[in-house]
Amino acid sequence: MLLDIEIVRYFQHQPVLRSHRPTYWRQGHADADTGGGSVPKYRGRSPQSGASFCHDEYRERTIMENELGSVVDALPGLVWTALPDGDIDFINQRWCEYTGLSVEQAYGRGWCASIHPGDLPGLLQLWQSMLASHEPREMEVRLRRFDGAYRWFRIRASPLTDVSGRVVKWCGLNTDIEDRRNADEVLHAQERRFGLIVDGLPTLVLGMTPGGEIVHANRNFLEYFGVTLQEVQSRGKFYCDHPDDFLRVTTAWSKALETGQPYDVEGRRRRFDGVYRWFHTRAFALRDTEGRIVFWYSLSSDIDDQKRAEALLAGEKRLLEMVASGHPMSRILDTLCQLVESTSSGCYCRFVLVDAAGTRFAHEAAPSLPASFISSIRGRLVNLDSDPCARAVYLNQQIVAADLTSETRWPEWCLVAVAHGLRSCWSTPISSTAGKVLGAFSIFCEEPRTPTSLDQKLIEQVKHIASVAIERTQCDAALKRSEAFLAETRQLSLTGGFFKRMATGEITWSAEVYRIFGFGPTVPVTHELIRSRVHPEDIPAFEEILEREQQGSDYEYEYRLLMPDRSIKYLHVVAHATKDRDGQLEYIAAVQDVTQRRLSEEALSKVRSELARVARVSSLGALTASIAHEVNQPLSGIITNASTCLRMLAAEPPNIDGARETARRTIRDGNRASDVITRLRALFSNKDATTEAMDLNEISSEVIALSVSELQRSRAILRQDFADDLPLVIADRVQIQQVILNLLLNASDAMSSVDDRPRHMVIKTERDENDHVRLSVQDAGVGFKSQDADRLFEAFYTTKSGGMGIGLSVSRSIIESHQGRLWASPNKGPGATFFFAIPCRRDLVVGTHSPSPVWAPGVTDAQRAMRNP
């Protein structure tokens, strides 16, 4: 380009050429200068043929022209000149070489053949206008090369004027710009592509000068705000930011401009339709190699959905925290309303909750709606016709009232709503996870609206949060009640718990265990601490349990604590082994202070022996006949023998042998009587029997309760099978209990040597024929032979080494004194069953006991296992 200018200047400043019109530069025709026949090196024609120059002048000129011709040919372009009328009168060698056209072909308008047909009309038009206006102009056109290929050239032409300003010649230079143009094309294509990309970016893009003036805005930017670039430029980039954000974002921008640091803010920006959306805007400075800012560009991303989701998420988290920390339901729902109201402007929320039956409203939350609109709904019936909320709950479906002014379903309610500036209402039922309708959530808007898909999404989320919050609050309340109940129960039952992690030896006690052990709740729990309280006699058992814990099996045991005040506590521990997530062994255990129970048991044991004694004493009345019989038999023998003896001695002659025999028998019977007395000494007292109406089941249960520890000791397992329609009997309570006790202890004793089968016992009551009530005790013991069935009830008949053999005899006496029967029969399997039947009162029937078999409490396999590890 510079070269073009220089050439123009050259021509303009050549006084010769200006003063003397260059009428002849080089004859294009073959002449002497170039040698005939040779291809003319310089092509030109004189506009004025037949010039008359003097020789010297001619020579001088010829020299000059030769020099000039060399320069023109050396120029890196195609050079030409034209006459003022536009006809070409000169072309340089390069032109000819490039186009492959001869000078003759190019002259006049011949050169047009070298122009691309598509460019020619435009070029000719420009050329005409130039010729008319005498203005220097340029144009880019495609020139055909000699081989037919086209290359882009820039054609520049300037007029050459004489002193009077008249155009005498047009000088032209065609420069090959094909390569540059290709490069430009690439550049332009890149620019276009870049522009498209920027326009297509889903962000708002601005380009700015280092001073912050807007020079570019992408299509999204203009479309979002609904403005033109010029409008943005005139109004400034912040004119549609939210007033609440304005100060913050402008301050940040000023700071960025000042420091060159990136600008990074979040704020609400008003869309063309007036809706504000959240944007995250970042601006960066572009710097040149010396670090100077040359350009700012800013990117704004729409984060409204994200913001909304974040707000909801944060809200959800806050709400769940509120639920977890036990906030009241009303506050939780208020917060949820406010959360929704904060995410979409111009809307108000309301919750209504129904009672457990689902028929009446129990709660309401509407923190932003006026009280005059929300009259208390509590206690009102759920129905179709009062308002959209009730209808949504009633039908369990979403109710949309898009325009309350044209709504006909709830005319009265709509009047009030419209009077409060509300125009639409959407009510959505809230259900529990089990599908039960808990209540409804309503959104009121100040404009007539139907929920968009975005609104529905929000409603779904709120519904979910509300359902979780309500359910959890309700569960929490129930759990709290249950926990309080459990705590109270634990305290009442003196039961605590501990947790033990075997890998670390870490032990955690509940408050009650601290209370039981008498330690402060902050004392760290260690085995040493526990051992310091364990009764010295129970230390070995305690150590054994610690060892057993290592094996990871469940256990149950009792031990005693020796408290600092020398009092003794009895503890019952049941421990269950589990594995944690890492497979580490853990124990969770219940610890119960059973001191009171133990003391009660001891007291009961005393009562039981007292009862047994009393029973024996009382039963003596019934026993008297038996005793008399037992004593009178030998006495009778003694007296008879003695009489006989006397008579034998008095005879003549005295029967000495007979007398001796009878005397010997007398001594024998005397000893027999003495034995009876010795054995009965323990029962040597009497007391009047008293009778009353009573329930055999009830008194049996009392006896079982008294016998449990005795049965446990002998490892007997007792099953109760009580008839539930048993009539009352008239009997001496203590005596009958003595019989039952006797039968139970006998049954238990009969099984003491049994080790190859369970020591099962069944105590059964039932109606017997002839208005009798029957009780039986079945055992799985050694049994008896049927021929011994009668002897069983004889006094002093016993199969037990330590027994006195009086129990069954006394028992039979007692039962007979009640007009009843006592008998026994061998079982089909092992053991025997003892029965008694006594008459009942026909007018008294009670039924307090379960007919189904119940294993006696306290006699469990676990306890058996505990006793026999």
Partner 1 sequence: MIVARSRVAVVDDDESVRESLPDLLREFGFAVAAFSSAEEFLASDYVGQTDCLILDISMPGMTGPDLQRELTIRRHEIPIVFITARRDETVRPLLLEQGAVDCLFKPFSDTALLKALNNVLRVS
- Per CB under 8 A, residues contacting partner 1 are 625, 628-630, 632-641, 643-644, 647-648, 651, 658, 661-662, 665, 668-669, 672, 790
Between 21 and 665, CB nearer to partner 1 = 665
Q: How far is the CB of 661 from partner 1 (least distance, A)?
A: 8
Spatial separation of the C-alpha atoms in residues 629 and 632, rounded to whole Å: 5
Name the one residue in this structure whose structure tokens are 């689902």. 358
Strand intervals (E) in 692-847: 692-694, 717-722, 727-731, 760-768, 772-778, 821-826, 832-845
Closer to partner 1 by Cβ: residue 497 or 634: 634
Rounded distance between C-alpha atoms, residue 158 and residue 172, angstroms? 7
Amino acid occupying residue 21: R
* Residues contacting residue 512 through CB under 8 Å, at least 6 positions apart: 490, 491, 494, 495, 496, 497, 591
Comparing CB distances to partner 1, the nearer of 359 and 643 is 643
**Which CB atom, from 657 or from 688, has the smaller least distance to partner 1?**
657
For partner 1, the closer CB: 556 or 661: 661
In whole angstroms, the minimum distance from the beta carbon of 676 to partner 1 comes to: 12
Least Å distance between CB 743 and partner 1?
23
Q: Kindly list the strands in the beta sheet with 276-287, ordered across the sheet, starting from the edge strand earlier in the chain.
A: 214-217, 203-208, 293-302, 276-287, 263-270
Q: Least Å distance between CB 618 and partner 1?
A: 20
**Least distance in Å: CB of 774 to partner 1?**
24
Residue among 611 and 648 whose Cβ is closer to partner 1: 648
- In angstroms, give the least distance from the CB of 567 to partner 1: 56
Q: Mind giving me the DSSP string for 655-672?
A: -HHHHHHHHHHHHHHHHH
Q: Of 89 and 669, which CB lies nearer to partner 1 in the complex structure?
A: 669
Rounded CA separation 762/781 (Å)? 12
Closest by Cα among 616, 737, 625 to 687 = 616
Residue in 230, 378, 199, 205 with CA at minimum distance from that of residue 295? 205
Helix (H) or strand (E) holding 254: helix 243-259
Helix residue ranges, H only, 562-594: none
Q: Are 717 and 760 a contacting pair, CB within 8 Å?
A: yes
- Give the nearest distance from C-beta 814 to partner 1 in angstroms: 16
Determine how β-strand 717-722 pairs with β-strand 760-768.
Answer: parallel
Shortest spacing between CB 828 and partner 1, in angstroms = 26
Are the CB atoms for 75 and 95 separated by under 8 Å?
no
Nearer to partner 1, 592 or 662 (CB): 662
Q: How far apart are CA 270 and CA 225, in angstroms?
A: 7
Q: Is 785 exposed, middle or buried (0-12, 13-18, 19+ CB in 10 A)?
A: exposed
Cβ closer to partner 1: 401 or 627?
627
Question: Token digits for 619?
Answer: 């039963």
Q: How far is the CB of 628 from partner 1 (least distance, A)?
A: 6
Least distance in angstroms from the C-beta of 629 to partner 1: 4
**How far apart are CB 660 and partner 1 at their closest, in Å?**
12
The residue among 149 and 639 lying less far from partner 1, judged by its C-beta, is 639
Which long-range contacts (C-beta less than 8 Å, at least 24 apart) are formed by 364-371?
A: 365/330, 365/333, 365/334, 365/336, 365/337, 366/337, 367/334, 367/337, 367/338, 368/337, 368/338, 368/341, 369/420, 369/444, 370/420
Residue 607 CB, shortest distance to partner 1, in Å, is 35
Q: What is the largest CA-CA distance in the chain?
A: 229
Smallest separation (angstroms) from partner 1 to the CB of 816: 12
Q: If you ran DSSP here, which 8-state letter would residue 389 be given?
A: H
- 650 Cβ contact list (under 8 Å, min separation 6): none
- Nearer Cβ to partner 1 (493/636): 636
Amino acid identity at 34: T
Residue 98 or 793 having the CB closest to partner 1: 793
Enter the tokens of residue 238.
Answer: 């912040």
Whose Cβ is closer to partner 1: residue 482's or residue 632's?
632
Q: Kindly tell me the burial class for residue 713, based on how many C-beta atoms sit within 10 Å of its own C-beta (0-12, 13-18, 19 or more).
A: exposed
DSSP string, 762-805: EEEEEEETTTEEEEEEE--S----GGGTTGGGSTT--SSTT--S
The alpha carbons of the chain give a radius of gyration, in whole angstroms, of 62
**Residue whose CB is less far from partner 1, 613 or 791:** 791
Dihedral of the alpha carbons of 740, 741, 745, 750, in degrees to the nearest 10: -10
- The conformation of residue 380, written as its DSSP 8-state character, comes to P
Between CA 32 and CA 671 the distance in angstroms is 191
CB-nearer residue toward partner 1: 400 or 649: 649
Nearer to partner 1, 444 or 793 (CB): 793
Minimum gap (Å) between residue 786 Cβ and partner 1: 14
Task: Give the shortest CB-633-to-partner 1 separation in angstroms.
Answer: 5
**Sign of the CA dihedral 523, 525, 527, 532?**
positive
Q: How far is the CB of 649 from partner 1 (least distance, A)?
A: 11
User: CB pairs under 8 A, 24+ apart, for 114-121?
Assistant: 114/143, 114/144, 115/141, 115/142, 115/143, 115/144, 116/141, 116/142, 116/143, 116/144, 116/150, 118/142
Nearest distance from C-beta of residue 669 to partner 1, angstroms:
5
Nearer residue to partner 1 within complex by CB, 89 or 630: 630
